[in-house]
């Protein structure tokens, strides 16, 4: 059954106020009342799962300022896209632990950028413990929405994420359903493998507004289905019994003729959406105001459309605003 109000999920913590995936970002999100927080996970050379938006870390750490790592700068193809920078899989955990986090969008979030270079990178096990303790401290159940990044790519280079995720979840007591766990990915195959491994969680298929999932492109080539086909009526039918829901780009809900939430609910699937942000640069054009890209626009009107769609969960960068609006 759909919730009366959607889950409010701190997207990488509270990145509207602190550098994403930093300890202070997550602690602030918990203090602001979120139902859950969402980490992105990637792997190190020695199989440690760390919290980063991407495995390329030049924009979210001070790695470029470390002369000892200058030779690690390289160009790779990640999910078919060429990227140049520094990549987590080329570092051991001990090496990454010497880096410090930075605001990914410093021109838009100048206040958050004042916390640059102050905090180390977190491992997944650090966050699992932090949220468990935060639930006790704040006197309410707080969940984790674990996003798996680039599973097919990592498997291709010999760093299969599935056993690493299972290891950390079981070691931290998050694998048996005692604590609220949701696992999500843009690749359905990694979700199926974790479900088969006996991880007790809700499994949510992330859906882009365009393109095709990399795991299916790798397996099927041009015959791989598009994300759009996956959330058509026939595509949704095919998801039943395999995943518990979908998490879609908010543009797919803002279309005036969207019946996506109702269609998914009719099949017993939950629907989440990403990402609710108040700054002009992230809002649909007709909800923007003056003041530049970093100024807040008429986000409440945009979020109202999303809320009225009946969505089950929303990812927010400013947890205080999200809690106030979606639970108001």
The answer to whether 55 touches 87, Cβ cutoff 8 Å, is: yes
Q: What is the rounded CA–CA span in Å between residue 16 and residue 37? A: 14
Residue 260 maps to a domain:
yes
What is the gyration radius of the CA atoms in the chain, in angstroms?
19
What is the predicted pLDDT for the residue at 40? 98
278: confidence class by pLDDT, cuts 50, 70, 90: very high
Structure-token pair, residue 203: 């499994």
What is the predicted pLDDT for the residue at 1? 41
Residue 197 maps to a domain:
yes
What is the predicted pLDDT for the residue at 328? 73
Average pLDDT (38-63) is 98
DSSP class per residue in 285-326: GGG--SS-TTSB-SHHHHHHHHHHTT-SEEEESSHHHHHHHH
Average pLDDT (245-269) is 95
Residue 81 maps to a domain:
no
What is the predicted pLDDT for the residue at 147? 98
What is the predicted pLDDT for the residue at 4? 72
Q: What is the rounded CA–CA span in Å between residue 253 and residue 248? A: 8
Which residue range(s) make up the domain with 297?
7-55+119-326
CATH of the domain at 234: 3.20.20.190
- Neighbouring CB atoms inside 10 A of 173's CB total 12
144: confidence class by pLDDT, cuts 50, 70, 90: very high
243: confidence class by pLDDT, cuts 50, 70, 90: very high
Please say if the pLDDT value at position 3 is more than 70.
no
Counting the structural domains of the chain, the total is 1
Average pLDDT (288-309) is 96
What is the predicted pLDDT for the residue at 275? 98
What is the predicted pLDDT for the residue at 2? 46
CA distances to 17, 21, 62, 79, 119 from 46, rounded to whole Å, are: 32, 20, 21, 21, 22
Average pLDDT (196-203) is 98
Please say if the pLDDT value at position 240 is more than 70.
yes
How does the average pLDDT of the chain come out, rounded? 97
CA distances to 127, 176, 216 from 133, rounded to whole Å, are: 10, 18, 38
Residue 99 maps to a domain:
no
On the question of a cis peptide bond just before residue 275, with omega within 30 degrees of 0, the verdict is yes
Q: Using the CB atoms, write b or e for 219-256: b if 16+ within 10 Å.
A: eeeeebbebeebbeeebbeebeeebbbbbbbbebbbee
Residue 95 maps to a domain:
no
Residue 104 maps to a domain:
no
Please say if the pLDDT value at position 305 is more than 60.
yes
Q: Which residue has the tokens 């290891």?
A: 167
Residue 251 maps to a domain:
yes
Specify the higher pLDDT residue, 153 or 256. 153
């Amino acid at each position: 059954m759909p919730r009366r109000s959607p889950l409010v999920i701190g997207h990488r913590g509270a990145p509207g106020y602190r550098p994403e995936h930093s300890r202070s970002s997550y602690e602030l999100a918990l203090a602001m009342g979120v139902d859950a927080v969402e980490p992105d996970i990637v792997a190190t050379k020695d199989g440690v799962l760390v919290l980063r938006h991407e495995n390329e870390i030049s924009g979210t750490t001070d790695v470029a300022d470390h002369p000892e790592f200058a030779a690690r700068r390289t160009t790779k193809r990640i999910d078919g896209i060429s990227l140049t920078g520094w990549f987590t899989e080329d570092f051991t955990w001990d090496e990454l632990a010497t880096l410090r986090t930075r605001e990914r969008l410093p021109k838009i979030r100048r206040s958050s950028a004042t916390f640059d270079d102050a905090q180390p990178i977190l491992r997944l096990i650090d966050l699992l413990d932090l949220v468990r303790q935060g639930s006790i401290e704040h006197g309410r159940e707080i969940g984790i929405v674990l996003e798996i990044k680039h599973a097919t790519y990592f498997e291709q280079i010999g760093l299969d994420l599935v056993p690493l995720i299972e290891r950390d979840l079981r070691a931290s007591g998050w694998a048996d359903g005692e604590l609220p766990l949701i696992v999500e990915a843009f690749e359905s195959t990694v979700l199926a493998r974790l479900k088969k491994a006996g991880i007790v969680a809700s499994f949510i298929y992330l859906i882009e507004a365009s393109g095709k999932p990399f795991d299916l492109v790798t397996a099927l080539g041009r015959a791989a289905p598009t994300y759009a086909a996956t959330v058509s009526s026939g595509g949704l039918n095919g998801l039943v019994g395999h995943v518990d829901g979908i998490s879609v780009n908010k543009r797919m809900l803002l279309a005036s003729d969207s019946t996506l939430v109702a269609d998914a609910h009719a099949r017993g699937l939950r629907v989440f959406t990403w990402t609710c942000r108040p700054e002009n640069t992230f809002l649909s054009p007709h909800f923007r105001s003056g003041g530049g890209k970093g100024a807040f626009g008429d986000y409440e009107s945009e979020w109202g459309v999303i809320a009225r769609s009946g969505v089950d969960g929303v990812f927010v960068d400013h947890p205080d605003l999200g809690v106030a609006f979606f639970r108001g």
